Structure 1
């Protein structure tokens, strides 16, 4: 679906999505690991392409971590969200008529993947991978469930926005 080329409208759309994701992450900070960032990155990647999703992942991570706390984990958050965005962009490019429930399932698996990436890279501070990973697994499951819910709620709204973008700004 997404083109590699970036125009002013697409950059503005990415900035708007980054703002929504940052605000969403901040607003939902009281719920551990339940926030709309991953869902927004997945939906944006699906509609705008892999490059847009990676740019969005970088923006959201750094901007939200300025408010919520910056640390070594920021690098791995960027990496995990960028891979998720890249994968969702490829799904959108090669399977643009994926059912919403499968996209929500991909979102749930992305929550588990995100937690695994952070656990693999951060366990050295904890000393034991399995202890660190198993302690964080409930939070990864919250993230997975939150992603599925956010995708189910946001996809219908965002798909109309992105469809309008394609009808208005992308030449046939």
Structure 2
């Protein structure tokens, strides 16, 4: 029986917990720099190395962990949507895109559009005028987010993917 068709094993559960912790730790480590994060990079790599199913679960655990750290608010709804969406896009594109440039473009666009996702959610709670104001006011941060995602992915994608893929395959197949 192939591993892909088998049920989740204890190793998978431990791996998902470890990957969730690395994303949370990575976000916290860079939290002193506004809108510069490695969450996007790690989700893209994890989706391509460990698959959409496992990484989708990682995104849900990461978001739930964020609630414990930052509290409950309207941003939560967006996080439960935006990170799983990135996982699905990354895992799907990973079969077609083999270059770090394609993933850097995805990360850059994702960072640029991040505020727009939140603006839509905020509009449901506080009205469209507030949502548009929220988005426009955050554009400088979205630009920083998009550019930093692009640069980080361009520089770190290949070396991190190589290490994570090598070590990850050993964990999965053992």
Return the TM-score normalized by structure 1.
0.82
Structure 2 portions without partners, runs of 5+: none
Tell me how far apart the structure 2 counterparts of residues 37 and 101 of structure 1 sit (CA, whole Å): 17
Task: Answer whether contact 2:49 2:161 (CA < 8 A) is retained.
Answer: no
Deviations 1:78-123 (A, max 9, x none): 101111111111122x22x511121111111121233221111113
Structure exhibiting the larger radius of gyration computed from Cα positions? 2
Deviation at 1:165, TM superposition (A): 2.9
User: More displaced, 117-126 or 133-142?
Assistant: 117-126
SS in 2 for 1:71: coil
Structure 1 segments (4+ residues) deviating >6 Å? none
Structure 1 portions without partners, runs of 5+: none
Change (3 A) 1:165 1:23: closer
Task: Answer whether contact 1:33 1:139 (CA < 8 A) is retained.
Answer: yes
Query: What aligned pairs does 1:1-172 form with structure 2 within 5 A after superposition?
Result: 3=4, 6-92=8-94, 94-95=95-96, 98-123=98-123, 124-125=125-126, 127-128=128-129, 129-151=131-153, 152-166=155-169, 169-170=172-173
Tell me how far apart the structure 1 counterparts of residues 173 and 66 of structure 2 sit (CA, whole Å): 30
Change (3 A) 1:88 1:135: same
How many positions carry a matched residue from both structures? 168
User: More displaced, 27-36 or 2-11?
Assistant: 2-11
Tell me how far apart the structure 2 counterparts of residues 4 and 56 of structure 1 sit (CA, whole Å): 19
